[in-house]
Amino acid sequence: MAGFGVYIHIPFCASKCDYCAFATWTDRDHLIAAYVQSLRAEIRLAVEAGMPAAETVFVGGGTPTLLQPADLASVLEVIPVRHGAEITVECNPDDVTPLHMQMYSEAGVNRVSLGVQSMSNHVLSALGRTHDPLNVEQAVAMIVDSGMPSFNIDLIYGAVGESLSDWRHTVESVLAFDPPHISAYGLTVEAGTPLAAQADRHPDDDDQADKYELADDLLTAAGLENYEVSNWSRPGHESVHNFLYWNQDDYRGFGCAAHSHDAGRRWWNVRTPDRYVELIERGESVEAASETLDSDSRRREGLQLALRTRHGVQRGAFDEATLELLDGLVVPHPDEVDRVVLTRHGRLMANDVTTNLRD
């Protein structure tokens, strides 16, 4: 049975990171109460229209921890979920308190995604981040002490001024917390961000490749398996929600700028929280636009996503002659002879490898 998930977008932030292109605002906190009520209303309408129970719920942003835990719980309570559903909330290390963890757990949250990015102050500053690395250890301790079944630490590498030694310090520092899951993303330049406007701060491809390989060495040695290009986990702690996207399963997004997918049709909500609240209060649709993928486009996109995971793709997704040219980038799956997977070098070249998929 195909999976179904729910994404909740919280657009409020205390400050905006220099690399962030997400729909987030630092000056709209006065809308929080109305936004929470609008989320509940949008979800209830979807349930009345027949939305199935979710096997995953992911609350992202933005900074979900800027909401009072009771407000976030009031949103979660109107989402129908399957037994054993994975329910994740993104957290800022500076905001985590025992009360957050207690109330999240009581609301059914069983996974936290902690936005750490780096454990070096000067690297955080280069990213435009404001949290204190010292607070990360305290946040992890509160997460673990609360009995939260799983948590993830998010990292970013490639900021200007970050040495290989800095990156090693970050990875080794978070490994000392014994996390069951780590995501490590290369810094990307998104149009319209402060980072995009300053070419001297753009990441270097060779530097990022060195840091990726170092991370893979350290994380693998610590017992975390790479199961998608940028994700490592202990067995049983993989992100079920992310697999919804990688498997092209259906999901509903709620809140401003949230995206949804249903059998190849994608649509997204209006971008600003002001407009979103206004439309909900007027009883009007918050859908801004949509697109529908044809079968060929959806098949190719599915292969591109699958190739990034440890499951790989059917060998027939490539011409045999192409597979010979990709020697060293793709290899036979260790357990399924009719499938191929990316090597570590292939993961570094994943976007280039996918251009060789059979039409």
Residue 129 confidence (pLDDT) = 85
Q: Structure pTM?
A: 0.96
Residue 149 confidence (pLDDT) = 98
> Domain 4-245 maps to which CATH number in 3.30.1050.10, 3.20.20.100, 3.20.20.70, 3.20.20.140?
3.20.20.70
> Please, what is the Cα angle at 139 between 137 and 143, to 5 degrees?
115
Residue 131 confidence (pLDDT) = 78
**CA–centroid distance for 82 within its chain:** 21
| Residue-range domain boundaries for the chain | 4-245, 310-354
What distance, in Å, lies between the first and last C-alpha atoms of the chain?
27
Q: How far is CA 179 from CA 111, 140, 147, 222, 238, in A?
A: 12, 9, 13, 10, 12
C-beta of residue 22 within 8 angstroms of C-beta of residue 256? no
Write the DSSP string, 201-218: GSPPHHHHHHHHHHHHHH
> In order along the chain (359 residues), what is the average pLDDT of each group of 10 residues?
89 91 92 98 98 98 96 98 98 95 97 97 89 91 97 97 98 98 96 91 95 98 98 98 96 98 96 98 98 95 96 96 95 94 97 93
Residue 180 confidence (pLDDT) = 98
Residue 2 confidence (pLDDT) = 65
